[in-house]
Structure 1
């Protein structure tokens, strides 16, 4: 049996819990470790580096499925950098679209807030829950791209 570390040591070295290590193993992100005679997992020294790689990839927004694909390419003996580059470009495009949508939403919130500050303060009534919301256009009246109504 080669030298290695128990699951608790590996998890602690990377800052994850042991359930995470087991989960990544089940997903195929980590190679199956050797076992002691008593059945304890003994992880190879490379496991810590692989776990750190996974955590760094997650910090860049990669899903576990995407990380599995990157690791598969590497396992096949090819450089996964082209795959990583493509995924990063896709992520950046998605973030740009989401940021544009958030900017539009922020403008709409500011307009609504400005309109609400001009509304007269009315006493509560059973016919109107909150005029600030009720003056908003109905979402179902907005047109979809191509001119179709929802």
Structure 2
């Protein structure tokens, strides 16, 4: 799979063309070779790397975390213990977000339950939003 254009690379990895350009601009993707006419020319290694980045983003890893994970894929730098530690930290963050979202869901559901939906000046939803009380 040599000589892919940017569009073909994007299709092969399941991302948008602009995503490829962005990842190149921020240094997540290496500069590709060029054709005689000056066009970018990507290979299989680019597809693999871009697919890795896409999967990591789908799992919610930050750009900096992905940089770290990519560094771990380099020969002599692979460390399952380091990848596990980074992933455990990320998992803790995901669990905290889930907990926060569940709390928000309970608050919103309770507030909606109190709301009659009638045309009235008293509205529990608006009152809750206007209140200084924390969650």
Alpha carbons of 1:109 and 1:66: their partners in 2 closer, same or farther (altered >3 Å)?
Answer: same
* Distance in 1 separating the partners of 2:4 and 2:126: 62
Q: Does 1:130 align with 2:115?
A: no
What SS class does the counterpart of residue 54 from structure 2 fall into?
A: helix
Is the 1:35–1:42 contact (alpha carbons within 8 Å) kept by the matching residues of 2? yes
Provide the residue aligned with 1:21 in structure 2. 20
Alpha carbons of 1:115 and 1:34: their partners in 2 closer, same or farther (altered >3 Å)?
Answer: closer
Unaligned runs of 5+ in 2: none
Is the 2:112–2:125 contact (alpha carbons within 8 Å) kept by the matching residues of 1? no
Provide the residue aligned with 1:30 in structure 2. 29
TM-score computed with the length of structure 2 as normaliser: 0.75
Unaligned runs of 5+ in 1: 144-150
TM-score computed with the length of structure 1 as normaliser: 0.69
What SS class does the counterpart of residue 16 from structure 1 fall into?
A: coil
Provide the residue aligned with 1:147 in structure 2. none
Provide the residue aligned with 1:140 in structure 2. 132
With CA pairs under 8 Å and 6+ residues apart, which has the higher RCO, 1 or 2? 2
* Distance in 1 separating the partners of 2:95 and 2:46: 35
What SS class does the counterpart of residue 132 from structure 2 fall into?
A: helix
Number of residue pairs matched?
Answer: 134
Larger radius of gyration: 1
